[in-house]
Each structure stands twice: as C-alpha cells, then as structure tokens.
Structure 1
Amino acid sequence: MPITVQFATNRRLTGPGEELSSYGDSVIPPSSPAEITYGTAFVDEVDLTADTVGAITEIRNLQRGAFSDEAVGDLAGARRNLLIFVHGFDNSFENAITRAAFVRDWLATSGLDEADTSVVAFSWPSQGRLLSLPLLWEPYKSDQVRAGQSGLHLMSFLANLEPIVTAARANGRRVFLLAHSMGNYALQSAVESWFSHGNGDAELFDEAFLAAADEQYRTFDFPQMGRLSGLGRLARRVTILFSEADNVLGVSAAINLVKRLGQEGPHARFDQVRFPPAQYRMVDCAGHRDFEFSFASSHQYYRRSPAVRDIIAAAMARPRAI
C-alpha cells in the first residue's frame, strides 16, 4: 500500500509539479515564501529489509504558499501522531520524499503506537551529489549554501504548520521533528529567522530529534536566539543523537574547520543548568553497530540501527512533557 507523504519544498519548479523532473536544485527567491510548493506524494516499494526507499508513484494537491484544504484536513484530523522530516546533504527531491516514507515505516516497525506516524517532509534544494574525491569541496559547500538560504522558507513552512499542530494536539496527537545531517543547518537558520522576525515562543514540537547533525557544536551557545539556541522555545523536549564513529561528519568538520554537533554532541553537554535533563537528552550512538557499517552508513544510524530506532521510538512514547 502506498505511503502518503505531505510535503513542502522551496525548490524552484521548472515544469509541471506532477513531474519529478520539475524539481531542480535552484532555490526560490529568499523573500518569496508564497512561492513554496506544497503537495501530496505517494511512495511505493519501500523495503526496510533491503534498505530500499521506494519510488514516488503520484503527486497531487499542488499549490503555492500553503497546504491544500485536503492536506490540512488529513494532518489536523490524523489518527496518528505527526512526524516532520528535514533531510540532509545529497538528496534530490525524490530522495527526500522517499526517505521520509522510509523513515516513517522504519519507526513504525518499533511496534509502539506513538511511533506510527503521518509524515510531512520539507525538501530544500540539495543537488543530490555524492561526496567523492577529488570533487569533495564543491558539492558539499554548494549544498551547505542552499541549506542556509532555506532558513526563511523553512520558517514559513513551520508557521503554516502551527495551526495544524494546534488542531492535531486538540485531537490528542503529538508532533515530532526529525532533522538529519545538513537538515540541521537549515533548521538553525529557520529557528534564528523565527525569532529575528518577531515570532515568540511556540510549542511546535513535542520532541525535536537532531540526528547526526551537520551543524557546529556550539550552536546552542549563540545569544539573542541565534542558530539553534532558541530551539528549546519551540520544542518541549530536544534529543540530540551523535556519534564519534560518524565518518561523514569527520569530513564535514575538516571542511568547516569546526567540530559538528553530531560528533560528540553540543559544547558543555554535561552542564545540566544549560541543558536541563527534563528538556534535553543526549544520546551517544557510537557503540551501535547493529547494521552493515561503512563510511556512508556510519552517518545513517538513525535509520539503519534497530537499537537507535528503538531509542527514538521510546522517546516518542514517553509521557508528555509539561
């Protein structure tokens, strides 16, 4: 049965939105959130055992600037919790949407009802080009620039989600954010934009999961709600998953000349005043090798390791934060 993925993307369309070839790697103008494309995709042939993310079979309910009434109704009245997914580096539009479907099913196999979610994906314009020598620097930095440029658009997407989140919570649902890799770089720009544009505290997420975050490790240290320092004002709880064995982030740290959040967690992670345990949870995933471990897969433990999946699912099932 196809998996439904509601989505938004700030990729500039080059043709009809029903065609995958229309979703390129150019960013819509920074000041034009009304040009964000919203729609519904259907993904088939996901195979968790073969690590096959599947294929998009249909796209519909397309419109600019906001979700369609049908999508709003489906999300606000969903009989499942909601999962908001932001992908990382090296993801085409199809990669991003099918990965969202894969992660939805991956978490659902934990057997916990709270982890069986309806999924919403935000796809920023990654070029979908692999890290490979000798052309390592250019594709990585190009994606990083696009991720940073997506902050205002991601903020607008979250603002459009806010009334949907409120309605879903009124129906007893929870809302989770899962940002992977460079998606956390886009997220920090969005959180910073949220507060710099005069928006106040908002309980957008019951829990935000930052997995293998390709964002600098001092991101929570910035003043005036800079970078991710304001995330705790948008999420009831924050779980940071990190691994020193993440080889991809080792390359990123060398390129950026600064340690990444997903390597050893945030600066001063043991300071319980800065990171109150009731709101922040640090999860060291370096010891989880219960999957085929390689250079690339070391960065994918959040969706390859059954042990890490069960940690995330158990967090989703924890009693609601006050």
Structure 2
Amino acid sequence: MDRRNQTCIYEFLLLGLSEQPEQQLLLFGLFLGMYLITVLGNLLIILATGSDVHLHTPMYLFLANLSFSDIGFISTVIPKMLDNISSGRKLISYGECLTQLYFFGLFANLDNFLLAVMALDRYMAISRPLHYVMTMNSQRCVLLVAGSWMVTTFHALLHILLVTRLSFCGPNVIPHFFCDLVPLLKLACSSTYINDLMLILVAGTLLIGPFVCILTSYFYIALAILRINSPKGKQRAFSSCTSHFSVVSLFYSTAIGVYLCPSSATSGGKDRVFSVMYTVVTPMLNPFIYSLRNRDMKGALGKLLRRKTL
C-alpha cells in the first residue's frame, strides 16, 4: 500500500451512545432538552451577575466566567452529536475533529482552573477576611481569569499541533460520541510517543495542580471554620462555600470516572456514561446549584426575570 493510501483518512466514524435505531429519537430529544436548559441556565447566571451591582464581586466574576466556559464546553460536543443523530451519518471530518478536540480541551481545562481560582477566593474570604479586599482586588481577579484563559488556550493548541503531525490510515472508528484525545491517538498509524509524553507531563500537571490547590484551600477553610466560636458564624462561613464545593465534587468525581479509572474493551458503555455526566450533566447542574443554594443569586435572578417580564 502506498503512502497516499495510508494517509487518506480524513473522516472518522463516531459510534455515539447507542447504535439502536429505535433509541435515536429519544436520545435526540433528551440531549436537545439538556443542551437548551444548560445554555439558558448559564446565560441567566451571566446576565444576573452583570445586571446586579451587588454581585460585582470576585466570586461572581469567576462564576460568570465559569458559566461562559460551561456554555462553550457543552456547545463543543452536543450540536455535532445532535446533527449526527438526526442525519444518521455519525461522521466527523478531520478538521471538525481537531476543532472539537481543541475547544473541548480549552473549556474542560478552563473549568478546572476557574474552580481552583474560586477555591482560592473562598479561602481568602473565610481564612483571611481582613486581607480579602486588598488581596482579591479587581486587577488581581482580572489577572487570575486572564491567566486561566491564556494557559488553557496554549495547552489546547499544543495538543492540536502534536496531533497534526500524526498519520491516520485506518481504522477510523472512534468508540465515543465526540472526538476525545485518547481514543483519537489509538487510531494513529505513526508513533504517538511524544503525544503520550506531553499528555502525561503537561496535561497531568495542569489537571493535578488546580486540584491540589482546591484541596489545600478547603483544608485551610475547614481549619478556619473550626476556629469560629459562634455556631451561627460557622454556619454562615460554611454556607458561603457549599455551592462551590458541590460543583467541585460533581466536576471531579465525573472527570476521575472518565480519565483515571482503568478502562477495558468491555467497559465502553460505562466510559460513555461517565463522559455524559462530565460533559453534559455537570454544566447543566451548575446554574441550579449556584442559584438554589445562594440567596444573593436567587435575588438577582428574581430581579432579572421581573425586569424582562415588565
């Protein structure tokens, strides 16, 4: 076989969540509804944060960016998945696959960094309240958000550039509902040693670093709460970080199920279920967690909805 035939694969077949024809309509309706709920919920969080001056604080600045990231995260995966279900083709071109891979890596890591920044914000607010205003000033908050965007942008670009040097000569079947990096590397005909090395070194560092920052922040937050003498003060301090802690638990529990739990050839269905939780359910639940467990956010959403109604 000549080299032209070996490198002529520029389309991949996404198996999706199910290959049963009778389940396609149900999946289309289910994921379309989840997508619309996610986009609407996160847009309301962004609009409420921007319209209410009481929410112009570091925590809600980070929350607005997290909501924007969640919209981008789910929009990277679901529209193409819905198109494949409705058309029945289940194909994705090489260029579309790289584009999806880039934005998926960007927004997934951005969520990771923003959750770490929000944990740092809660640590400063609870453990060092007297220094909070000075430390978490507007310039520093903007730098934290901008730094998160820059690091994740270059990280996603690095993996895309490394993938472009690979050859794909068959098979072209990706046992997933979107183009993820690990299944894609398994289809390469050329050596993926550099890709695997960078995945372990760079991606591992960028994933573990923010997670360690979150664990450290909550360790000191717990110590600070235990030192509070008033039960009411303890409850108030604890309630200020319950929403963030719930989102962190949901995000990392599903991410660990996808990327750290050992997979096998017989666990493809389980891996895809974890991926649905990670890519679809988590962004959908985040607005509900922050709005239902946060009095200020509920008040801002109520004002926003009344204003739109009038």
What TM-score do you get using the length of structure 2 for normalisation? 0.25
Report which of the two has the higher share of helix: 2
Question: Is the radius of gyration larger for structure 1 or structure 2?
Answer: 2
Report which of the two has the higher share of strand: 1
More contact order relative to length (CA 8 Å, sep ≥ 6): 2
